Amino acid sequence: MEGLGSTRALDARGLVCPHPVLRTAKAMRSVDPGGTLTVLATDPVARIDFPYYCHHAGLELLSTTSRGEVLIFKIRKPETAVQLAPNRPIG
């Protein structure tokens, strides 16, 4: 069933660009297709970095919210791989 993949979390609070995205890219490798990763970050630049990363890595950014200074990104790995350009910068 679609949408019932695994759910994981990554705490990237206190890290600054590019480390939250780099750690997310590494963590996404172990997320099952259809699964999600929730990332906590405090770097304000992450609000720009995560939509860019998800777009170029073929991932779905489900939501971006905040609680105080903490940004919360919920990212979904698609059920089927997305064909991407061979020169994509990250992912």
Catalytic residues: 17
Q: Is 37 left (phi over 0), alpha (psi -120 to 50) or beta?
A: beta
Rounded to 5°, angle at Cα 90 from 82 and 78:
25
Locus of tokens 């020169």: 87
Distance CA 49, CA 43 (A): 10
Query: What residues contact residue 85 under an 8 Å CB cut-off, 6+ apart?
Result: none
